A and B are shown apart, each in its own frame.
Chain A
Amino acid sequence: GAVVSQHPSRVICKSGTSVKIECRSLDFQATTMFWYRQFPKQSLMLMATSNEGSKATYEQGVEKDKFLINHASLTLSTLTVTSAHPEDSSFYICSATGTGFYYEQYFGPGTRLTVT
């Protein structure tokens, strides 16, 4: 399968600061990347979809000014959580798909964010 990396794997930040999470496709060109959030014992929640070179499409209820997504190249997307608060503490996971993948998404290992 295709390989997706995420960095950092864990981050602790103080309330009010911003955190950037990187998602990279290592062995394919990702035409679309997705950002999910998962709270303990809950299912995945899609936050946004991003295509290379265009603005991200956010799901209903997700604040686009708080969760900034940049998909600058076919192998890199970033999620910046701005002015983080304790309620933003969660497991953030990216996934990616490419041409010819027939909608298969491959997930990164995730980033566990704790806001103190």
Chain B
Amino acid sequence: QKEVEQNSGPLSVPEGAIASLNCTYSDRGSQSFFWYRQYSGKSPELIMSIYSNGDKEDGRFTAQLNKASQYVSLLIRDSQPSDSATYLCAVNKDSAAGNKLTFGGGTRVLVKP
């Protein structure tokens, strides 16, 4: 079992719809969770951080964390063609990991006009 798992996609979403991305992690001691967006040929860009159970909203993005079920999700509302990218889920496992993040393989999102 991978430490951080994501569906590779592509997730095809009509423009204006909600894109829903899921990520599961294996280490129950994980404390910090992040979503990064990576456009083709570019480096990752941090879009959301979440540390406690529940929802966190930032503009059109909502991150949801459920530590009991060991999953974190990202919702993109009113999806735009510019949201087409690969979304990486990252987890800081525990204090033993120091500052390291473990990344999932990424979910490719395609928003069709």
A61 to B103 CA separation, bound complex (whole angstroms)? 18
A49 to B92 CA separation, bound complex (whole angstroms)? 14
B42 within 8 A of A: yes
Smallest beta-carbon distance B56→chain A, Å: 13
Q: Helix, strand, loop or mixed for chain A's interface?
A: loop
Q: In the complex, are the beta carbons of B98 and A49 less than 8 A apart? A: yes
A67 within 8 A of B: no
Q: In the complex, are the beta carbons of B43 and A103 less than 8 A apart? A: no
Which of A68-76, A77-85, A104-112 contacts its partner?
A104-112
Q: In the complex, are the beta carbons of A104 and B42 less than 8 A apart? A: no
Q: In the complex, are the beta carbons of A32 and B99 less than 8 A apart? A: yes
Chain A contact residue count (CB 8 A cutoff): 19
| Complex partner residue of A109 from B43, B49, B101, CB under 8 angstroms | B43
Q: In the complex, are the beta carbons of A107 and B43 less than 8 A apart? A: yes
A93 to B32 CA separation, bound complex (whole angstroms)? 22
A44 to B42 CA separation, bound complex (whole angstroms)? 12
Q: In the complex, are the beta carbons of A103 and B46 less than 8 A apart? A: no
Smallest beta-carbon distance A84→chain B, Å: 21
On whether A97 and B99 interact (CB within 8 A), knowing A44-B44, A104-B46, A106-B46, the answer reads yes
On whether A109 and B42 interact (CB within 8 A), knowing A32-B99, A102-B49, the answer reads yes
| Complex partner residue of A43 from B42, B45, B103, CB under 8 angstroms | B103
Please, could you name 29 A-B residue pairs with CB atoms under 8 Å apart, sorted by A? A31-B99, A32-B99, A34-B99, A34-B100, A43-B103, A43-B104, A43-B106, A44-B88, A44-B103, A46-B100, A49-B98, A49-B99, A49-B100, A93-B43, A93-B44, A97-B99, A102-B49, A102-B51, A103-B34, A103-B92, A104-B34, A105-B34, A105-B90, A105-B99, A106-B46, A107-B43, A107-B44, A107-B46, A110-B42
Q: Which 6 A-B pairs have the closest CB atoms?
A: A103-B92, A110-B43, A107-B43, A103-B32, A43-B105, A32-B99
Q: Which residues of B contact A (CB under 8 A)?
A: 32, 34, 36, 42-46, 49, 51, 88, 90, 92, 98-101, 103-106
